[in-house]
Amino acid sequence: MLLADDYAGLLTAWKRLLEPSYDVVGCVRDGRALLDAASTLAPDVVIADLSMPEVNGIDACRHIKHASPQTKVILVTAGGDQWVARAAFRAGASGFVLKHSAADDLPVAIHTALAGDTYCTPAVGLDALDVC
């Protein structure tokens, strides 16, 4: 797992949440660092905040998927709607999770992504079929 969020508190919380089940290979604080880490660490899953300095989550996702199509990208956002979610999936994301429900949704999303599927937080109201 490679985690990216400009908010350090969340990075720590996610790390704590995921470490029992997954190997967290890195935590970065901005989009540029994410792209660098992704290319060097070659993680299976990238969990990235949608809004990050330097390069935003969508662009980062597009680059990662372009460079390493097998890498799964789950985008996390503090506030997002179906339109953002659509954009995320169009950029190649495998999951779209709201931060405040991350404790419940993030494990599901990782699991779904690793299974080769896409997951969208139910609160966004986006039907999986709508993606792409």
Q: Which of 98, 95, 89 is nearest to 119 (CA)?
A: 95
Is residue 130 involved in binding other proteins (CB under 8 A)? no
Selected range binding other proteins among 21-29, 64-72, 74-82, 109-117, rule: CB under 8 A:
74-82
62 is a contact residue toward other proteins (CB under 8 A): yes
Give the CA distances from residue 48 to residues 5, 38, 69, 129, 130, in Å, rounded to whole numbers and listed in that order: 6, 11, 16, 23, 22
Among residues 19, 39, 67, 90, the one that binds other proteins under rule CB under 8 A: 90
Residue 125, C-beta contacts closer than 8 angstroms, at least 6 positions apart? 82
Give the nearer residue to other proteins in terms of CB position, either 12 or 42: 12
Instruction: Out of 26, 59, 108, 131, name the contact with other proteins by CB under 8 A.
Output: 59
Neighbours of 112 (CB within 10 A): 19
7 CB-contact burial (10 Å; exposed 0-12 / middle 13-18 / buried 19+): middle
Using CB under 8 A as the binding rule, whether residue 66 contacts other proteins is answered as: no
- Site residues, other proteins (CB under 8 A): 5-7, 9-10, 13-14, 16-17, 50-53, 55-59, 62, 77-81, 83-84, 86-87, 90-91, 98-104, 123
